[in-house]
Amino acid sequence: MKSFQNLVLLQNLYRLKALGFVYSDPFFINKTSTDETPATLQHLSHTISTCHLCDLSKSRTQSMSGYGNPHADLMIIDFSVSLSDDAQNGYYSGRSGETLKNMIENVINLKIEDVYFTHAIKCKTLNSNIPSLSEWDSCKSHLFAQIEFIQPKVIVTLGNDAYYKVTGEEENFENVRGHVIDFKKYKLIPIYHPQFLLRNPELKKITLNDLKTIKSCL
């Protein structure tokens, strides 16, 4: 019975071929060919800006690949693009962005142009929802490629979501916040997200100490 079914299937395939149908190998949307791996950070930025691997590309104004010094000692990773970031195409937009800028310039004593800032999820989320696992799967190769191109001394993750995605560790954030963690060949320091600090100003003094730790590692 199975051989008869295979014969019928084969006959149908030959019939379709005779009608002009062309067959191709299967492909996977979230799988990047080794031939398409970006050779430079600039090439990677172009790949991100034209990415349509997930549904976030349908609602964004633009993909946000990253901003700053491509040879930075300090790389800062936020979790996802905010609505104000997307609307303004800016990496330090809104009160949260202004807070982060002040943290960099007034405590770490760097200009924002001296650091490299990017997001784990490169596009704003749909209706401010939490990005799905498949959306992260579409973005993570971009993020880890950026880290390898930049080769920072220190990686700072903003908030628990960014820390969990970058490291894959889901332990209590309070147990790792402000600690210097060996991550691959880099030093990684998780800190509170500036937006969280705006809602909880009593934690600014703790974050000040975390920023001093970051400065000491540079």
- Whether pLDDT at 35 is above 90: no
* Closest by Cα among 184, 152, 145 to 40: 145
Q: Please identify which residue in the block is written with the tokens 């395939």.
A: 13
Summary count for the chain: helices (H), strands (E):
8, 6
Percent of the chain, pLDDT > 70? 82
Judge whether 174 lies within some domain: yes
State pTM to two decimals. 0.79
- Whether pLDDT at 29 is above 60: no
Judge whether 9 lies within some domain: no
Judge whether 76 lies within some domain: yes
CATH assignment at residue 108: 3.40.470.10
Give the integer Cα–Cα distance in Å for 87 and 59. Answer: 11
Q: How far is CA 149 from the centre of its chain?
A: 14
DSSP string for residues in 63-88: ----EE-TT-SEEEEEEEE-HHHHHH
Least confident of 16-25, 43-52, 141-150: 16-25
- Whether pLDDT at 78 is above 70: yes
Q: How many domains does the chain have?
A: 1
Judge whether 92 lies within some domain: yes
Rounding to the nearest 10 degrees, give the CA dihedral for residues 57, 166, 130, 114.
-70
Mean pLDDT of 9-28: 64
pLDDT confidence of residue 28: 46
DSSP string for residues in 99-139: HHHHIIIIII---GGGSEEEEEEEEEPGGGPPPPHHHHHHH
Mean model confidence pLDDT for the chain: 84
Judge whether 150 lies within some domain: yes
- Whether pLDDT at 14 is above 80: no
pLDDT confidence of residue 8: 63
Give residue-wise pLDDT tens across range 104-157.
Answer: 999 999 999 999 999 998 877 776 667 778 778 888 889 999 999 999 999 999
Give the integer Cα–Cα distance in Å for 213 and 73. Answer: 14
Judge whether 157 lies within some domain: yes
Judge whether 141 lies within some domain: yes
Judge whether 19 lies within some domain: no
Cα–Cα distances in angstroms (integers) from residue 30 to residues 58, 146, 149, in the given order: 16, 18, 21
Least confident of 110-114, 125-129, 175-179, 196-200: 125-129
Give the integer Cα–Cα distance in Å for 208 and 196. Answer: 14
Range of the domain at 97: 37-217
- Whether pLDDT at 32 is above 60: no
- Whether pLDDT at 82 is above 90: no
